[in-house]
Amino acid sequence: MGSWDPEKGSKGKKKKTDSSYECEKPWIPWLLPTIVLANIIIFVLMMYTNNCPKNNKGSKGKCVARMDKWGALQWSKVVHGKQGWRFITCLWLHGGLIHLFANVLSFVFIGIRHEQQFGYVRVGVIYLLSGFGGGILSSLFMQHTTTVGASGALFGLIGAMCSEFLTNWTIYTYKALGVLPHIDNFANIGGFFTGFLLGFVLLFRPQSGWIKPQHRPAGAAVIPKHKPYQYVFCVIAVLLLIVGFGMGLLLVFKGANGNKHCSWCHHLTCAPTSKWPCGY
């Protein structure tokens, strides 16, 4: 991401500290570190109660099977068992130490930075709704697998980071910004696009040069707080989120199979090679 110095004007001169940004202080992150700690604790408890890795013998091991009892996402239980709560509980489970380690690193390098900038409320909403959105897409295409992990929610944070850059690009001085077997990329894709849209709704900022009325010097030009395109992005994103979640949930609980309407989509989560089968 680029950087922006609120102390400098367009010609490099220092301005008085009356910009809204200069009144902001970085948030002290506590939500995402707490989520990281909870994920680790739940993982240890799950490994201990399931007697892992002794009982973990490949994809048919008892450790994998018992993740269902901990709230893993399974299409049959969501649709036929009406257990929609699994869209959220699956975010706290991980299929192995490497899976957990990768997600923890993502939390540290992506999530915590977001919380420092925008606070725990907005980041928490993006995290949960992105994970929820990823679970919906996963349920439409991965109906014979068990899905666990916070990857969809983390991809949502990445998507929000991209849309935040697009909607706030005028305040930045420097503008810079795999398909493997047995990885649920549909959860990642769904989470990414959910977070991308939520970023337009929750993360847009006042444009550069805007000054709060109580800090505006007499005779200073009045600059609108936000640009028109920011409102346009926000409205479009809200509409797409409502339609996407509404249609997605309707299709999931009707038992729809997305693969029947997209013959090539299964390749997004596994591309078969001589090294591994996909078992579509």
CB atoms within 10 A of CB 266: 17
Is the C-alpha dihedral spanning 228, 229, 235, 238 positive or negative?
Answer: negative
Between CA 180 and CA 217 the distance in angstroms is 58
Quick check: 156 and 191 in contact, CB under 8 A? yes
* 280 inside domain: no
Measured CA to CA in angstroms, residue 192 lies from 5, 130, 197, 261, 278 at distances of 29, 7, 9, 22, 24
Q: What contacts 24+ positions apart, CB below 8 Å, involve 75-80?
A: 75/139, 75/142, 75/143, 75/144, 75/252, 76/143, 78/139, 78/252, 78/253, 79/139, 79/252, 79/253, 79/255
Q: What share of the chain is helix, strand, coil (3-state, %, to 5)?
A: 60, 5, 40
Residue 89 structural domain: 30-48+66-210+223-264
pLDDT of 54 reads 64
The tens place of each residue's pLDDT in the chain, 280 residues long, gives 333 333 333 344 444 333 444 445 778 889 989 999 999 999 888 888 877 766 555 444 456 557 888 889 988 899 888 899 999 999 998 878 888 888 888 888 788 888 888 899 999 999 999 999 999 998 888 888 888 888 889 889 989 988 888 887 777 655 454 444 445 677 878 888 999 999 999 987 887 777 777 777 777 777 888 888 888 999 999 999 999 999 999 988 888 888 777 776 766 666 666 555 565 5
pLDDT of 271 reads 60
Which backbone phi and psi does 73 adopt, to 5 degrees?
A: -80, 120
Between CA 112 and CA 133 the distance in angstroms is 21
Q: How many domains in the chain?
A: 1
Which CATH number is 87's domain given? Answer: 1.20.1540.10
Between CA 146 and CA 208 the distance in angstroms is 46
* 130 inside domain: yes
Full-model pTM: 0.69
pLDDT of 37 reads 92
* 23 inside domain: no
pLDDT of 97 reads 83
pLDDT of 207 reads 78
pLDDT of 216 reads 76
pLDDT of 41 reads 93
pLDDT of 56 reads 57
* 148 inside domain: yes
* 145 inside domain: yes
DSSP 21: G
Between CA 124 and CA 132 the distance in angstroms is 12
* 186 inside domain: yes
* 8 inside domain: no
